[in-house]
Amino acid sequence: MHRIWNRIDFAFGSAWQNFWRNAAVSIASVLIVWMVLLSLGSLLMVLNSLQHILTLEKGRASAISIFLADNTPLSSAMDFKLQLMRDSRVSAVSYVTKEQALVRFQEMPTLSPDLIAALGSNPLPASLDVTVKDIRSLADIDKMVRTSPLVDKSPATNYSPDVIDKIIVLARVAGIAGVVLIVGLAALSLFIIMLTIRTAIYMRRKEIEVMKLVGATDWFVRWPFIVEGLMVGVLGAVVAVIIVGLGYRPAEQYLQPRLVFIPLFYDPEFLKVVLAGMLAFGLLLGTVGSYLGVRRFLRQ
């Protein structure tokens, strides 16, 4: 017990001394770890938002709203609905009145009350919301319904085949760019941590020489430097976790009114996972960086 306590006390005491003796380099490495983890956390949150949008759009994609001209009698609309329901490619059809369309529009979280008030009379058309069995038949149905005289011409439907493809491409590009950025920054932070540990080793080289001379084990010599790397990783991670943890909700609230048609998501469960992941990655960076830094020296 005494032995373990001695080892912990010595490792933490020396690491703390190293950190402050070497303050400029230590703080630089904390900053770089912080930058890496902040980028990682932000990227994961953005990718998560894109994933949500993608799921939503995919769900929407199997449905199409056919907008009806304002003068369409209800009986014609019902006939049209029955005609569509008889189509083997269609799984469900529902009629949405102009009033229901306005309520839906008002419920969109991204719209400000001013915008809704500015609409005056209800400009939204009634529609038939058609859900298809196979997403690939959407294009044909879209083409078919456009020929009906009941259908509004501006626009006839909300069919937009490009949206999903664009989101997929955006998510892929964001993912690849993010991974490249994070791998680059992670490599840089490993290098900086190694440099910090090397500087600490250089400053304590006489002490290390004496330790080895009097019979300290390699691990006893290593621990203070590993702990120092760990401190750098954890400090960088904690600052990044605080910023992402506290800043994500306000950032989402700030951005949402400015990005009206992009639904941003606040997912507290995923945020927790991301924060835990950032902390773990900070620990990993610190430990691996310091281990690499100390390994070569002790081999000599």
Partner 1 sequence: MAAVAVAPERPQISLQQVGKTYPNGTVALRDVSLAVPKQDFVFLVGPSGAGKSTLVRLLIREEKASEGSIQVDGQELNRLRRRHLPYLRRKIGMVFQDFKLLPNLSVFENVGFALRVTEGALRHLKPKVEEVLSIVGLEGKENKYPDELSGGEQQRVAIARALVHDPKIFLADEPTGNLDPATSWEIIQLLLQINARGTTVLMATHNREIVDVMRRRVVAIDGGQIVRDEDAGGYHAPNLEPH
The residue ranges that bind partner 1 (CB under 8 A) are 2-3, 6-7, 10, 206-207, 209-218, 220-221
Of how many residues is the chain composed?
Answer: 300
22 φ/ψ angles, rounded to the nearest 5 degrees: -115, 40
Find out whether 50 and 171 touch, Cβ atoms under 8 Å: yes
Q: Shortest approach of partner 1 to residue 27 CB, angstroms?
A: 22
Q: Shortest approach of partner 1 to residue 14 CB, angstroms?
A: 10
Structure-token pair, residue 67: 């907008």
Nearer to partner 1, 59 or 215 (CB): 215
Nearer to partner 1, 118 or 213 (CB): 213
Q: Shortest approach of partner 1 to residue 24 CB, angstroms?
A: 20
Find out whether 200 and 29 touch, Cβ atoms under 8 Å: no
Find out whether 179 and 185 touch, Cβ atoms under 8 Å: no
Nearer to partner 1, 2 or 258 (CB): 2
Nearer to partner 1, 86 or 206 (CB): 206
Report angle CA 289, 294, 296 to the nearest 5 degrees. Answer: 110
If we measure between CA atoms, which residue out of 249, 292, 233 comes closest to residue 32? 233
Q: Shortest approach of partner 1 to residue 202 CB, angstroms?
A: 15
Q: Shortest approach of partner 1 to residue 189 CB, angstroms?
A: 30
The CA distance from 136 to 286, in Å, is 50
Nearer to partner 1, 67 or 223 (CB): 223
Q: Which three-class secondary structure state does DSSP give residue 266?
A: coil
